[in-house]
Structures are given as C-alpha cells and as structure tokens.
Amino acid sequence: MQDAIRRVNIEIFKPFFVNEAVPINDKLYTVLESDITPLDNSKINKEGIGRTYKNFFGYAPMMSYAGKSGFMVNNELRIPIQKTA
C-alpha cells in the first residue's frame, strides 16, 4: 500500500515542481531536504520517548520537504537511540 501511495503522491506533486527543477549534467532534479526535528516531550509522561541530541526527552521525527516551495512529502516518527553506559 505504501508503494501505491508514493506513486500517487509523485503524480500529484509533479505539476508543482515543473519550474523548480535544478539542472545538473543535462538532467533535471528536484531538491529534497530531510532533517530530524526533535520534539520536546519532557513534561509529558509518554511511552517510548528517549533523550534527543538537544538533551531533552522526546521523539526525533524525520521530515522531508521537496522543491523550493518546501512541500512536505514524508514524515517518520522516530524514537531517539538510547545510549547505555
């Protein structure tokens, strides 16, 4: 199902990126930026949270944006990696 949804999303997004492509070696590419965005859940008693690189407890979702206009194309809610001493 996820593959089908991704294919449909590509078809939906195509018209928005026509004028945003970046030429590299005679091919056109769309910019895709992905980054972790720590969410502070320190004062909330949720299960599965971990210490983030910002030194608070929460989640570390990965968010991806496409094109110069920054269309959000994918998110992944991730629990920070727990380090043991």
Q: Rounded to two decimals, what is the model's pTM?
A: 0.56
Question: pLDDT tens-digit profile of 36-65?
Answer: 887 777 777 777 677 777 777 777 788 888
Residues in contact with 78: Cβ distance below 8 Å, sequence separation at least 6, in sequence order = 36, 59, 60, 61, 62
Reported confidence tier of residue 25, pLDDT bands at 50, 70, 90: very high
Which of 5 and 51 is assigned the larger pLDDT? 5
Cα distance between residue 75 and residue 62, in whole Å: 6
> Phi and psi for 79 in degrees, rounded to 5?
-90, 135
